[in-house]
Amino acid sequence: MKRLIKSYLLNTVLCLSWISILACSSDKEATPENPGPIAKTLSANVEKIDFQSTASTSEFIVTANATNWTVAASEASWLTFTPATGVSGRTTITVKASENTSSEVRTAVITISSSEVAAVKVTVSQAANTGGLYPNYNTNPIVADATGMSSTAVQLAAKMKMGWNIGNTLEATGSETAWGNPKVTKALIDLVKANGFNAIRIPCAWNQYANGTTAKISEVWLDRVKEVVQYCVDNDMYVIVNIHWDGGWLEKNVTEAKKVENNAKQKAFWEQIATHLRGFDEHLLFASANEPDVKDATEMAVLKSYHQTFIDAVRSTGGKNAYRNLIVQGPSTDIEKTNQLMTSLPTDSAANRMMAEVHFYPYQFTLMTEDADWGKMFYYWGAGNHSTTDPSHNPTWGEEADVDKFFLMMKTQFTDKGIPVILGEFGAIKRNLTGDALTLHLKSRAAFLKYVVKQSRVNGMVPFYWDAGNLGTNTMSLFDRSTNTIYDLQALTALQDGLK
C-alpha cells in the first residue's frame, strides 16, 4: 500500500511539473520553434480610384487573413461593390460608379472593415459632367512612378530658396516674342541661376495654341514649353508651370455661368500638359491658375471646383504625376481674400503634396503710375526712408507692419499646417524721378525687396520675383535679356540680401 501511495505521489509531482513547464513556455516570446499566434492583416492594393463622369468600372484586390470583412461607402449610393463581403485570402472587388450627371466632382471613401483588424480605406473621385464639350485627352495613363518624387510639399518648399518669373514671355499674344522679349534661352536661365535664384516660374498661355472646338493643344507649343522646362531642370532648378492669364478664359470667369465650360477646358488642358511633361521628376511643379478673379464665397466655390478638376486631371495621367507637388491659387491671389475665403482646399489622392499661392503688390508703392482722387502714388517705403521734402508721396500703409501682418496670416492659415505657400509674384517698379527723390526712392525699393524676401522665408513662404523683361522707368526687370547681363544690380542685391 505504501508503495502504491508513493508511486501515486511521484506521478502527481511529475504531471504538475510538466503542466508548469507548458505554462511557462506559453509566456515566452515567439520563436521560430514557438511562433505564437499569427497577427491578423487586411490590405488593399490601391489607395485611390479616379472615375470619369460616365458610368465606369474599376477593380482592386483585398488581401486578408482575417476571418471575414465587409466593404461599404457611406452616403455614396452611386457606388456598388461585388462582392461586398469576403474571407481570408485574395479577393478582387469590382467597383461600379453610375454616371455623374452634375457639374460637381464627387468623392467618397470605401471602407473595408473587420472586427479583427483595423479598417482600410480607399478614396474614390468621379469627374464632373462637362457635357462632352471636349474629348478625353488622358488616353495613355500609366502606372504610378515614385522615382525621383520623394519630397513632400514641405520638403520641396525648403529646397526652393528664391524664385524668378520669366514674366509674360510664354503667354505673349501671338508668339513668344510678340511683347518685345527675345525667345527664352538656356543662357538666360544660366544667368538667373548664377545670381541666386534656384527656382523659375513659367507663366504660360495655352488657349491661343489650342483648337477652339476640341481644345487640343499644339504639339509644337507643348514641345517648346517642355524645352524651357528642361533648361531649368538641367540647372538643378525647380520650375512651376501654370495656366496664366491666357486671355482671361478662366481668370475672368470664375462664375456659375462658366463653371461647366471652364471645368471642361481645365480638364482637357491639364490632361495634355501633364501627360506631355510627365517624365520630369520633382523639380517640376504644376499650378492650377494665376490670379483667378474672385469676389465672394460663391465664386470661391467655383474656383475650388477648377482646382479640383486640375488636381484630378494631373493625377489621372499617372507616372510621376501621381506624386507631383501641385499649387492652388487663393482668390485673386490676394492675401486678405485668401485668409477670409479659402477655408478649405481641394481633395488630393497624394498625401502632403499641395501648396497654396498668393501674390503681393502693395499697389500705391509697387504698381500705381498716376495719382488718383482716392490716393497718391507712394515713392518711398520703410523705416527711415520717408521724405521730408515730398511728404505727399510718403506711404500710409503697406510697410513693414503690414508685411508682417499679411505674411503671418499665411503662416497661420497654411504653413503651420504643413501647407507651404508660394509667393508667386512680388516686385516694385522703378519710378521716373530725379535727384534726391530718385535716390530715396531706390533706397526704399531695395528695402522693400529685401524685407519681403526675408519675411517670406521667416513665415514659410517661397518668394518669386516678377520680371517681365521690359526695361526703363515704371518697370521692375533685373536682367537685360538681349545681352544676358544684369540690368538692375541694386534690386538684385537687395533680393540676395533678403536670403542672408
Active site residues: 291, 425
Q: How far apart are CA 211 and CA 214, in angstroms?
A: 5
Contacts 24+ apart (CB under 8 A), 175-182: 176/224, 180/469, 180/470, 181/468, 181/469, 181/470, 181/481, 182/481, 182/482
Residue with cell 484586390: 61
Q: Do residues 61 and 91 lie in contact, with contact meaning Cβ atoms separated by under 8 Å?
A: yes
Q: Beta strand 326-329 with 85-97: parallel, antiparallel or unpaired?
A: unpaired
The closest of 255, 250, 286, 292 to 271, measured between CA atoms, is 286
Question: Do the beta carbons of residue 409 and residue 336 sit within 8 Å?
Answer: yes
**What whole-number distance in Å separates Cα of residue 155 and Cα of residue 393?**
42
SS3 content of the chain, % helix, strand, coil (to 5): 35, 20, 40
Residue 248 backbone dihedrals phi, psi, to 5 degrees = 85, 10
Cell of 287: 499650378
Contact 77, 94 (CB under 8 A): no
Pairing between strand 85-97 and 79-82?
A: antiparallel
Counting every residue written for the chain, the total comes to: 500
Cell output for 130: 462637362
Separation between Cα atoms, residue 345 and residue 341, nearest integer Å:
11
What's 420's DSSP letter?
A: -
Distance, CA of 117 to CA of 220 (rounded, Å) = 54
Rg (Cα) of the chain, in Å, rounded?
A: 30
